Chain A
Amino acid sequence: MNAFVIGDAELCIGCQACMVACAQAHEKMPTAALNERETPFHSRITVVNAPEVTVAVQCRHCEDSPCARSCPVEAIVQKNAHIEVIKEKCIGCKSCVLACPFGAIKIIEDDMNCAAIFISPHDGTAHDRIEKAHFVVEKCDLCAGCGSPACVAICPAKALQLVEPDAIAQKIENRRIKNANRIRLYRSQLA
């Protein structure tokens, strides 16, 4: 079963520290270098700061991943206990973006390590091929490979938690016991 990070709207203050931590965790350079190189900022978690609600939203790593099923090139795969995008395989078709019910998949401009895509313009004027921006998709990978999720670690309001399969099993068990006790009390009251 997949793990996932979930936000609590009763605690989130919308500070966006999770977004900064996420973006930084997925860059290899120190922040001073990111500044100097004008590295684009990409966060895989987004704070929804609507008039009615404030909470961070990101990938739920669904078991029946509509994103992976809609991907025509198998760029979205199950890896260990999470769903991962293989950026190199992504063709930027956006099917997964449409399929995701959480809005957790983002389209980002990829520099492809400075390689370029050239395409013929259809304006009938010239045969010259023009350089085109390259877009791929990106989403939460639970910081796989860098230990625990950076967003959970940074959250000052403790509004984010990593839900792991064991924890779910434990929670279900606890609720069963709680309910069983409720039934017992109810029965004793009846008696």
Chain B
Amino acid sequence: MEGLSTTLGSGAMTNSIAELHTMGPGDTIFAIGTNTTECHPIIGIAMIKAVKRGAKLIVVDPRATTLTQHADVWLRLQPGSDVALLNAIAHVILQNGWEATEYIAKHTENFSEFKKIAARYFPYKAAEITGVPATLIKDAAKIIGQSRNVAIYYTMGVTQHTSGVDNVMAVSNIAVLTGNIGRAKTGVNPLRGQNNVQGACDMGALPDVLPGYQKVQKTDVREKFAKAWGVEIPEEQGLTVPSVLDGIEKGEVKAVYIFGENPLRSDPDINHVKHCLEKVELLIVQDIFLTETAQIADVVLPGAAFAEKDGTFTSTERRVQRVRKAIEPPGQCKPDWQILSELIAAMGYPAAYSHPQEIFEEMRQLTPSYNGISYARLENESLQWPCPTNDHPGTPILHVGSSIRGKARFVPADFRLPAELPDKEYPMMLTTGRVVAHYHTGTMTRRCWGLRGVAPYEMVEIHPEDAAALAIEDGDQISVSSRRGEVLAVAKVTTRVSPGLVFMTFHYSESSGNMLTNTACDPTTQTPELKVCAVAVRKVKSPGVHLADTGFLQQNTAPEGVFHQPALSNAPH
């Protein structure tokens, strides 16, 4: 969000997913830090089909994924070395004159500074940092430099680093350098991990903005909202998640209200998160299930599931989609808007809404990018913001002509090492991610019979060489520990990971990778470095005749009571 706002003027996906259906010969998909087929399966299918039609595919990933199987060039980098790799690609592009000279002259700024930094990143030097052979870096640069269109896609593999913002800006630099902005089949496209994470950001669920990314520090913005709401808007920025936890430790934060989030499994260093959330005076959790976080809450507010409420979601491509209630929420459950509405009424603010449509109307009057979107239009239209007026058709592609901030800005950065690297005590590197069957902390998906069936427990990926050195065989129960904790899980011996690297998810409550991950953050966004930390691995038990005989699986396959808490329709409140 922050990186692209700085370079282009908007942190959202620049282009639209459907453009993938039109890509073919002459076009290139550049996927970095995204396991698209598992984490965004529909977009993954479109990518693979585009490749089949003749589009080129460059994948940057330390792990072998389905996408790497289809890649023309797979850059298997050391986790956290993205900036060095991207700078080297830029270096080769500049060396060969493949940059978009005219676009750079007309529509960009700070090019000379960028050139200076890129000039230092010789492919052979980047090869030493990234582990990617220089020839592959050159191959990738050639494809990017010579393609008619290059569309860049990225996700958490880019952002969840202490150099996350630098990584995003390095990605942006490549797009700007080659003029791959503001046209179909190009762009810088961060794929959002959830159905409405774009919408939540759009609505101001960030510490420094009101809806529509209107900065809270700006007087005119505060005045506009103060007038509409009849209350004074505080001038200072809110807190990021890590600073909330810090604030609790210092006794400055007294109450935390969490909804639709399970930080006791999704945030790094769970032990620390637990310590803080247990310490806070008042913890309110609003969710559809009694999550690990809800279990330690003082107050649990039962929310409604997607099928039980009306409203809108805004997808990764800025598309506002109407959601319609199919069934009534069970028991005492209520839609989030209703709970919040009743809460602010109880606190003395007379907000009486009878339908989310009224909230949407209020929001769009105050949010220029959503101003032209209404429930009436959403009946027949599918609109992508910005949509400033009632007759505006929406914006499938951002930065057409020139970038939103005026001139696209090159922001060069130097490579920095991740915060915690393997050492004698913790000799291996852990990177985290997801499997296709599960969503986040498994709160919903592990309650589904089929999804639980295909991915019942954590499988820690470890390279055969490392496994052999530790006398670990496929299916053994192993322990993975870091400076912050230890978890038990089953070993999956595979060349999917390189020697020295292990991979885990955060789906499984009983073996969550986030027991181990590091809270070190990007200095600008405070996004934690979930993709790199140092761990030690040791064997605990062989599987013997049958895994189930160890008793391990029975104890560990599901969160407590999963099967006795029936799915969605009967949330246990």
Taking Cβ atoms with an 8 Å cutoff, the residues of A that contact B are: 9-16, 19-21, 23-24, 31-32, 34-36, 38-39, 41, 43, 47, 49-54, 156-157
Chain A residue with the shortest CB-CB distance to B549: A133
B453-A51 in contact (CB<8A): no
Residues of chain B in range 54-77 having any CB-CB distance to chain A below 8 Å: 64, 66, 69-70
Shortest B279–chain A CB gap in Å is 36
Query: B37 near A10 (CB under 8 angstroms)?
Result: no
Q: B132 near A: Cβ within 8 Å?
A: no
A sample of 11 inter-chain contacts (CB < 8 A) reads: A10-B52, A11-B49, A15-B38, A19-B454, A32-B569, A35-B449, A35-B566, A35-B567, A36-B566, A41-B456, A52-B64
Q: Point out the residue from A13, A19, A24, A51 that lies within 8 Å of B41, measured CB to CB.
A: A13
Which of A12, A13, A24, A39 gathers most chain B CB within 10 Å? A13
Chain B residues contacting A43 (CB-CB under 8 Å) are: 453-454
B447 at the interface (CB under 8 A from A): yes
Cα–Cα distance between A47 and B455 once the two chains are bound (Å): 12
A47 to B436, CA, bound (A): 12
Other-chain contact of A15, B52, B436, B453, B569 (Cβ < 8 Å): B436
Q: Is the CB of A41 within 8 A of B449?
A: yes
The 0/1 profile, CB within 8 Å of A marked 1, for residues 31-45 of chain B is 000000110011011
Q: A14-B66, A34-B449, A49-B66 are in contact. Are A41 and B454 (CB under 8 A)?
A: yes
Contacts of B448 on A, CB cut-off 8 Å? Answer: 31, 35
State A39–B66 Cα separation when bound (angstroms): 31
A34 contacts which chain B residues (CB < 8 A)? 449
CA distance A107 to B52 in the complex (A): 37
Known: A10-B52, A35-B447, A54-B69. A15 touches B37 (CB 8 A): yes
What is the chain A residue whose CB lies nearest that of B548? A109
B residues 62-119 in Cβ contact with A at 8 Å: 64, 66, 69-70
Q: Is the CB of A32 within 8 A of B495?
A: no
| Residue from A14, A20, A36, A53 within 8 A of B563 (CB atoms) | A36
Q: Decide if A13 touches B48 in the complex (CB within 8 Å).
A: yes
Q: How far is the CA of A36 from the CA of B495 in the complex (A)?
A: 37
Q: A14-B38, A52-B64 are in contact. Are A35 and B563 (CB under 8 A)?
A: yes
B→A interface (CB under 8 Å): 37-38, 41-42, 44-45, 48-49, 52, 64, 66, 69-70, 436-437, 447-456, 494-496, 563-564, 566-567, 569
Q: Are B453 and A20 in contact (CB under 8 A)?
A: yes
Chain B residues, Cβ within 8 Å of A24: 449-450
Shortest distance between the CB of A57 and any CB in chain B (Å)? 14
Q: A10-B70, A24-B449, A35-B563 are in contact. List 11 more A-B contacts (CB 8 A).
A: A11-B49, A11-B52, A13-B48, A14-B37, A19-B454, A35-B447, A36-B563, A38-B563, A52-B69, A54-B66, A156-B41
Cβ-closest chain A residue relative to B45: A157
CB <8 Å contact, A32 and B52: no
Instruction: Give the dominant DSSP class at B's interface.
Output: helix
Q: Is the CB of B566 within 8 A of A53?
A: no
Closest A residue, CB atoms, query B451? A20
Residues of chain B within 8 A (CB-CB) of A36 are: 563-564, 566
Q: Given A31-B448, A52-B69, answer yes or no on A15-B41 (Cβ-Cβ < 8 Å).
A: yes
* CB <8 Å contact, A19 and B453: yes
Cβ A13 vs Cβ B66 within 8 A? yes
> How far apart sit A73 and B275, CA to CA, in the bound complex (Å)?
61
Residue in A9, A31, A50 whose beta carbon sits within 8 Å of that of B450 in the complex: A31
Chain A positions within 8 Å of B569 at CB level: 32
A23 in contact with B42 given A14-B66, A14-B436, A52-B64 (CB within 8 Å): no
Contact B449 A16 (CB under 8 A): no
Measured CB to CB, the nearest residue on chain B to A31 is B449
Chain A residues with Cβ under 8 A from B563's Cβ? 35-36, 38
Q: Which of B37, B69, B437, B449 contacts A53 (CB 8 A)?
A: B69
Q: Is the CB of B453 within 8 A of A23?
A: yes
CA distance A39 to B453 in the complex (A): 10
Give bound CA distance, A41 to B66, whole Å.
25
| Distance in Å: Cβ of A46 to nearest Cβ of chain B | 10
A31-B450, A35-B447, A51-B494 known; A16 and B48 CB under 8 Å? no
Q: How far is the CB of A113 from chain B (nearest CB, A)?
A: 20
A38 to B456 alpha-carbon distance, docked (Å): 13
Inter-subunit contact B45/A156 (CB<8 Å):
yes
Contact partners of B456 in chain A: CB under 8 A: 41
Residues of B near A51 (CB, < 8 A) are 64, 494-496
Residues of A within 8 A of B496 (CB): 51
Q: B564 — which chain A residues lie within 8 A by C-beta?
A: 36
Cα of A89 to Cα of B69 in the assembled complex, Å: 42
Give every chain A residue within 8 A of B45 (Cβ-Cβ): 11, 13, 156-157
Docked Cα-Cα span, A138 to B66, in Å, equals 28
Complex-state Cα separation, A24 to B449, whole angstroms: 9
Give Cα A12–Cα B41 distance, bound, in whole angstroms.
Answer: 10
Are the CB atoms of B66 and A16 closer together than 8 Å? no
Residue pair B450, A156 in contact (C-beta under 8 Å):
no
Evaluate contact between A32 and B567: CB separation under 8 angstroms. yes
Given contacts A11-B49, A35-B566, contact A41 B450 (CB under 8 A): yes
A47-B66 Cα distance, complex, nearest whole Å: 12
Closest A residue to B66 by beta carbon equals: A54
Chain A: minimal CB distance from B362 (Å): 38
Task: Determine which of B37, B449, B451, B567 lies in contact with A39 in the assembled complex, contact meaning CB atoms within 8 Å.
Answer: B449
